Amino acid sequence: MSKAKQLRDAMAERGLVHIMAAHSPLSAILAEEAGFDGIWASGFELSALYGLPDVSLISMTQHLDMLRAIASSTSLPVVADIDTGFGNAINVIHAIGQYERAGAAAVVIEDKTFPKVTSLIAGGRQELVRSEEFEGKIRAAVAARTSEDFLVIARTEALIAGLGETEALRRGLAYEAAGADMILIHSKQKTPDEVEGFVREWAGKVPLVIVPTAYPEMNERRIRALRKIAMVIYGNHAIRASTTAMQDVFARVIKDRGIQGVNNDIVPVDEIFRIQGMERIKKDEGLFLR
């Protein structure tokens, strides 16, 4: 079974899938071990990993290389965050072929102008392309995929841009008509009210996707009660958790002038060996090295 079919079947069977962001094979492995349904190959997280702002500075090649590494390290389906599609509809056609071959199960394309600015930054430039232009990108993506199971998810930033619910709904319906398999509605409000209002008014036939970073009280109970959301993406928690842990440990080592204070509070080296699959290496060495 393809990873794309695996993702579609999971949504059909469970009604809601939980997708965790990753910026490396290690974070993807840990997300799978924790029990998530899929991996979000996050542009924001990869930008942060490179120490760069999320403003379209990471190239498609950089993102593809990491996605390929992530997809080969996990049995979970990977949803690729491809921002604005790396250009116009012609660029999208090229990108879809590349991401499908690299092992993605789905792509999310957003209706911002290029270069985009990360959605949740205070005072950020949030400009959208014409709806007609983005509809062309969606049609191009659908035409370019080789498997009908491969999901094309259209993300509208109308709420992020302050254009209101009516425009967000209009764009969502237009993107559905263009062939999108799902609509991702994004919001930077600190409560779920704006997203819940959109979901209640959503009259489209395709399911919705949310990324509740800004409104963390939007838990599974509230999501399921709305009955129209099939995917929730935890968009940046891997890089934030990693940063939290490293800042704490690094500061303690400097304060203590050594590792004696933190050594028992971090995973032992043997746990890293386990994640790396060193037991398999030892077994293979015994079988094949002569």
Q: What is the pLDDT of residues 67-90, one digit of tens each?
A: 999 999 999 999 999 999 999 999
pLDDT for residue 1: 87
Looking at this protein, which amino acid is placed at residue 102?
A: A
Residue 120: pLDDT band (50, 70, 90) is confident
- Is residue 123 predicted with pLDDT exceeding 90? no
pLDDT for position 66: 98
In the chain, where the domains are located: 3-236, 243-288
Residues annotated as catalytic (active site), given as ranges = 54
Phi, psi for residue 70 in degrees, rounded to 5: -65, -50
Q: What is the reported pLDDT for 122?
A: 87
Rounded Cα distance between 211 and 234, Å, is 6
Q: Which CATH class is domain 3-236?
A: alpha beta
The helix (H) or strand (E) run that includes residue 18 is: strand 17-22
Task: Specify the pLDDT at position 186.
Answer: 97
Which tokens is 270 given? 């043997």
pLDDT higher than threshold 90 for residue 282: yes
Please report, to the nearest 10 degrees, the dihedral formed by the alpha carbons of residues 160, 165, 168, 170 taken in order.
-160
Per-residue confidence band for 64, with pLDDT thresholds at 50, 70 and 90: very high
Average pLDDT over residues 216-231: 97
Residues contacting 266, CB < 8 A, separation 6+ = 245, 249
Residue 17 bridge partners (DSSP): 231
Over pLDDT 70: what percentage of the chain? 100
Which residue is listed with tokens 């430039």? 125
Q: What is the pLDDT of residues 169-184, one digit of tens each?
A: 999 999 999 999 999 9
Average pLDDT over every residue of 196-213: 98
Task: Tell me the average pLDDT of the chain.
Answer: 97
Whether residue 142 is predicted with pLDDT greater than 90 in this model: the reply is: yes
Per-residue pLDDT band at 93 (split at 50, 70, 90): very high
Of 34-48, 109-123, 145-159, give the lowest mean pLDDT range: 109-123
